[in-house]
Structure formats: C-alpha cells, structure tokens
Amino acid sequence: MPFPRDEMGEAPLTRTPIPVPTHFHHAEQSFSLKKRGRSLCYTLPPRPPVKSIPPISRIFPNRQRSWSQPRPQSVSFCTPLTAPPASKLYDLSKGETFFKQCFQSICKLGRGSFGEVYKVRSREDDCLYAVKRSVSPFRGESDRQRKLQEVRKHERVGQHPNCVHFVRAWEEKSLLYLQTELCACSLQQYSEELPNPLPPHQVWNFTCDLLRGLKHLHDRNLLHLDIKPANVFMSFSGVCKLGDFGLMVELDGSDGGGEAQEGDPRYMAPELLDGMFGKAADVFSLGMTLLEVSCNMELPKGGEGWQLLRQGHLPTEFTSDLPPDFLKVLSAMLDPDHRRRATVDWLLSLPSIQRAERWRKLTLSAQWTLGKLFAMCQVRIHLWFCKRWLVTWPQLSNLLTSPSYIMSSPMRLFAAPAALNPGAGNTRTPHTLSYKLVHPASFLLTTLTAAFFSFCWSLFLLCPFLPPLHLASLPLASLPHAPFPAASSSPCVLTPCVLFTLRPYPMRPLHLASLPLASLPLASLPHAPFPAASSSPCILTPCVLSCRLLTPCALSCRLLTPCALSCRLLTPCALSCRLLTPCALSCRLLTPCALSCRLLTPCALSCRLLTPCALSCRLLTPCALSCRLLTPCALSCRLLTPCALSCRLLTPCALSCRLLTPCALSCRLLTPCALSCRLLTPCALSCRLLFTLRPYPMRPFLLIPVCAVWPVPARFLPADVAVAPRCGFSWL
C-alpha cells in the first residue's frame, strides 16, 4: 500500500513522539553516608580516545625506534645512559619478555585508563613487588616522553618511610614497566571494609604518617595535587604511604605550574579553579581525605555541599563525635583562604600532633619488636626436635653476644648459604663477610632482646643432660688429654690449632671450613708440649711456613731443625725476624745451631713476640701483659684473668694452659705465627700458619648442639657458621 503524499508530492514524516527532558533533582540533604552497595575503588574513568597515530607513508617512512626494539632498556633520569636492566636471570635468546623471565605474576591488582598493576614475586630475591605496565604502546616520541615523566617523578621523590618506594623502571616492546614496593591495600579499600568510622587513635596515626610524607614532598618543592584515599596506601605493618605521583608538579622545575592538572574534584582545593597552585592545595586535599575516612561520609562532587565545604563549613551531624583537637586540625587544614591555611610544618608543631607522633613511634617500635620475637619463637618451636645439627661454640657465642644482629633481620636465618664443598670454595675470609643492620636497635629493643636471650641461656645451663659449664673458667685439666703421637704413626700433615681435640668421635675436615680466627678460644690448642727434636725427626718449627718467627739463628744457619732437611730454602722474610731471647737456649725445639748464634743479647727484652720458652710455662699470667717476657712469677699463677681481652698475641704457652675464661673468645690471634693467616681451616695446605706437627686423630672439642639454645638447621645459618653432623650424642 503506497504512502499518502502531500501536495508537493513528498511522503510525510513518521509520527514519532518528541522526547521529554528528564530533570534530575538533588537530594534534600547536601551530605550523606557512603553507599555500601557499590565500591568506589573499582569505578574507573572512561579511557581517552586515541587522538593521533604516527604518519606512515612514502614521505614519512615507519622508522624503527630504539625504544620499540624487543630488547629491554632501563629507564632512569639519574643515569642518562640506557642499558638493559640488571638481572642474572634474563636471557635474550629465550624470546620471552624481561617481565616474564624475572617475575612470577601472582594476580592483577587493578586496571586503570593508562595502566594495569600486577602483584608479582621476583625470581631474584624471592620478594613481593607491584609492577605497573602501560596498557597501550607508545604512539610516538612525544607520548613516550610524557609517560616517562612518571619515572622521573618517582626518582625525584626518593626514599621515605611514608612514600611508596620506587625500585626501578624499564621499557620493552614500546611498553613501560614500573616496579614499586607492594602495599597491603589503599586507604579507600581499608575504610570501605570497615562497618564503622575509623577509631580516633587510628585517625591520629594516619594523620601523623601522611603529614610526614607530605612534608618530605614539600621539602623537595614537590606538589602531589592528587591526594585522596585511593592514592594513600597502607603497608603490611599499618603505615600509610603516599603514592601515585602521576599529577605531581615540581615548583622549581621546568614543568612549574603551567602544566599542572587538577585531580579529583571531591578533594580539590578552591584556589585551583583560579589556577593558583601551591603547597596549600595539598594540605586542603589531605584535610578532605581525613574528613572522609574519619567521618565515613560521602564527599560531594559538586553542588551546594561542595560549596559549603569550600566555605569552611563542617557538617556537625558527622563531626560531632570527633575529638576537639582533631577537629581543630581539620578546621586549620580546610581554611578557605589558602594564604591563612595551615602549613605542614605548623601542623607538625602542634602539641596534639607531637603527642600522637610520639605514641605512634612507640607503638611501631613495640609492634616491630614483638613481631621479631614472635617470629624467633616460632622458629624455635618449629625446629625444637632438629637435634642433628651442631654449631661451634665460638659462633654460638657470637650470636648470643650480638642479639641485635638476629633481631635486625631474623630472615637472615632463612637464607640458604652455598653448600659446603671440599676444596678452596669452602674458605671464607672474615673481610668478605658483611652484615647490614636493617633496623637500628633501640633501647627498648636491646633490653627485651637481652632479657630474652638471658632467659634462654639460663634454661640451657640448667639442662640436666648437659655437663656443667662455668662461664668464669673452663677447667681443661679435668678433661682427657690428647697428646701428639709419634711422627711415624701420623702420615698426614695437619695443623694442631685447627680442630678441637677432646671428644672421641672423628670429624671430617670439610665441616670446619669456615672458622674465623677471631672466634677461636684458647682451648683449641692441645695440652701437650712439643716432643724433643731427637724423638721426632720430622717436626717442623712454627717459623718455617709462616715466615714470621724466624729466629736469628736462621741468619747463620740454613737449617733450623733436623726436620728442615725437607725444606729447601728460607724466605727473605727472615730479615724481619725479632731477637731470640737467652731463655731460648732451654727450648727443646731449637737445634744446636742456635749455640752458634751471635745475636742472643739482652735487648731481647724489647721483643714483641713471646719466645718458645713459654712452652715450659703452665699458666699464662696477667703480668705477661705488662712485660715482654714471662717472668718467674708466671709459674705460680693458676688461671687466666679477664685482662687477656687487651692481649693482641697469644703465645705458645697456651698449649699448656690449664684454665681459660670466656674472654678468650675475643682473642685476636692464636699464635705468633698466625700473623699472616686469615682462616684456620682443616685444609692446612692452603693456610699460612702451619705448625706442621704430625697429627693426632682429630677429635672435635667444644661442639654443642645448637638446638640447646637456638635450633636452626645448617641451611638456615649464616654463611660464616661452620656446622658438623651429630654422631649419637652431644658433648660440651
């Protein structure tokens, strides 16, 4: 059926109803509570459209940029040279990105209009991080420079406990990656999950944290301009940190106030509408953030409520429950006049803020201390029955006397050191071992730690299955002696100062591959004099290999002892030897060639090294510290006094010492020949302090089970602790 036509011969228009405009009426109340039904933190703004693309034609060819190459490049404005990111795990030949090879993606934390954030675990240090990756690739050099400004802003912020820590950034395949520390959640997510407003003490804590972070930015002439609960992040310990520095402006930089952009209108200061950017705008945004989380109110985006808040009006129906001091702080931060608005320094000088800040520091210190103690108690309970691991007494004493090392980072105990393999790879010199204290030990921390370890040490001393141990002295005379056997029955050449010698189960040398010399007690030497040269034709003197104690007789004679027949020549360091004292004539280690020496003069009293005549001495006396030679009164002394702490060189008389004190653990050198030695290892051939006496069966001494005080397996111990497998029973 044809449509009817008008006089002009045209078909009339269809009869469609005219749309009626719908008028949106605002609620009668200007302010309202937050709607729990919808989540504000997941509401994303629309993605901006792509305005332009690089021209591709015969006139403008598609040139390959350096940043579009598949090889990753580090992005840093501190170091202008571009280089690949430093990582031992990345292999360019695999074809995978740097992100996939070096990180394990756990989940996606969120997605915005410009990027998406992932929770990742680093394959290098096994720590959790947050990595932000741009959604769209670079559209050109100008777009790349605009996105790289975020890296520059992160580097300008630097490190601060109340700012999100920036780790590194890199670009790969026209995508930008930013690696930062991982936080637990944002302040917006935290406040939305609470059914009630934040308690007053928590509001004070957050205020102190955010003021400190904002002061750090303002001291560097940086404006955040986007402070809101969604950009405030909370660490796993409950500390608030400022983040998302995408809109940050440098007051003293080239991007001044001309390129500044406004943030969320709900938290925007009124002077920003007039183009006046300053530090007062951040203070106003922080005040609006604290008002929202403390009152649990929904901030208006415009209208009458927005104007009332910018005129200094605070709704009493929401702020009636706030403390008066905090209400005064909010009023000062939300002053309509930016010239009279409070500054960060003035706010931090308020008595209420200072009182809250002192309490904040105390609670954080107590929380950190209790957390470390609880972690160590968990390790102790978990490893209570692991009794097959042993640790040497000097190393355990170092751990007990330095609790701040363990408390500073108890996770060091969970670091897996390199496996002990026979050979030179076992040796670790003390100067290669370095420890970094992560947290400084305060007075409260030191007191609690000392009390904790004193209690554990008391329990250890009261254990009925362990033999008695006296800290004041260690009686060696009550323990069985292990003298040197004849040279003919000892085919191996090992040092007598390496292993402890008083318990009857054998010990493999590789288990003591990392014994620092500074930790060895005097008891490591056996109680046995050197045998006569006539009965031991193959015994070398201490001066042969260490080349430090070459006596003057070496100047007139090529051979020191009968065993020197196996030695071809003496090193030139013999010229630096000291004088041999007259009492050396009675030493059994000296050969008759010493009788022909012309240098036995009384000036030997100035010798700094105690002579071999000390072998006939039974006990080392305090008077040995005040004179160069052992006096006759040394023979009547019965024990070693604590003044041995100031002694620099331990003499060979320690071989026959009867009583030792714990101060011997802090001794610097074991014997005079140990001047050039850094480690006492069982691999005596790689050590410079060879006594090279024919060995006795090596028996460990002073090995105690670590589970008695601190039960930690060998793989959890620091790399400088030597361990040995337990053989049936423990003995101290």
Q: Higher-confidence residue: 388 or 14?
A: 14
CATH 3.30.200.20 in the chain, residue ranges:
66-181
CATH 1.10.510.10 in the chain, residue ranges:
185-359
417 three-state secondary structure: coil
633 residue type, one letter: C
Q: What is the 3-state secondary structure (H, E, C) of 20-79?
A: CCCCCCCCCCCCEECCCCCCHHHCCCCCCCCCCCCCCCCCCCCCCCHHHCCCCEECCCCC
pLDDT band at 220 (very low <50, low <70, confident <90, very high): very high
Kindly list the catalytic residues: 226
- What is d(CA 581, CA 602) in angstroms, rounded to the nearest whole number? 7
pLDDT digits (tens, 9 = 90+) for 410-422: 333 333 333 333 3
pLDDT at 343 over 90: yes
Q: What CATH architecture is 185-359?
A: Orthogonal Bundle (1.10)
Specify the pLDDT at position 366: 86
Q: What does the pLDDT average to over 504-522?
A: 33
- What is d(CA 611, CA 624) in angstroms, rounded to the nearest whole number? 12
pLDDT digits (tens, 9 = 90+) for 681-693: 333 322 322 232 2
Fill in the DSSP letter of residue 627: S
CB 653 within 8 A of CB 528: no
Specify the pLDDT at position 231: 92
pLDDT band at 54 (very low <50, low <70, confident <90, very high): low
Q: What does the pLDDT average to over 579-591?
A: 34
Going from the C-alpha of 400 to that of each of 63, 395, 432, 449, 458, the distances in angstroms are 65, 9, 22, 10, 12
- What is d(CA 607, CA 452) in angstroms, rounded to the nearest whole number? 46
Known binder of ligand: residue 132?
yes
Q: What does the pLDDT average to over 426-430?
A: 32
Q: Higher-confidence residue: 633 or 272?
A: 272
pLDDT band at 3 (very low <50, low <70, confident <90, very high): low
Per mean pLDDT, which range of 67-71, 207-211, 486-490, 715-719 is the poorest? 486-490
121 three-state secondary structure: strand
Q: What does the pLDDT average to over 10-23?
A: 53
C-beta atoms surrounding 687 within 10 Å: 23
Per mean pLDDT, which range of 70-84, 125-139, 251-265, 267-281 is the poorest? 251-265
- What is d(CA 107, CA 129) in angstroms, rounded to the nearest whole number? 11
Specify the pLDDT at position 15: 59
Give one DSSP letter per residue of 317-379, joined into a string: HHHTTS-HHHHHHHHHHT-S-TTTSPPHHHHHTSHHHHHHHHHHHHHHHHHHHHHHHHHHHHH
pLDDT digits (tens, 9 = 90+) for 400-409: 334 333 333 3
196 three-state secondary structure: coil
pLDDT at 527 over 90: no
Q: Higher-confidence residue: 448 or 522?
A: 448
pLDDT digits (tens, 9 = 90+) for 171-219: 888 889 999 999 999 999 998 888 888 888 899 999 999 999 999 999 9
Give me the CATH topology for the region 66-181.
Answer: Phosphorylase Kinase; domain 1 (3.30.200)
Specify the pLDDT at position 585: 33
458 exposed, middle or buried (CB, 10 Å; 0-12, 13-18, 19+)? exposed
Q: Higher-confidence residue: 316 or 52?
A: 316
The most confident of the ranges 6-20, 280-294, 480-494 is 280-294
- What is d(CA 395, CA 718) in angstroms, rounded to the nearest whole number? 10
Specify the pLDDT at position 628: 33
| pLDDT, averaged across the chain | 59
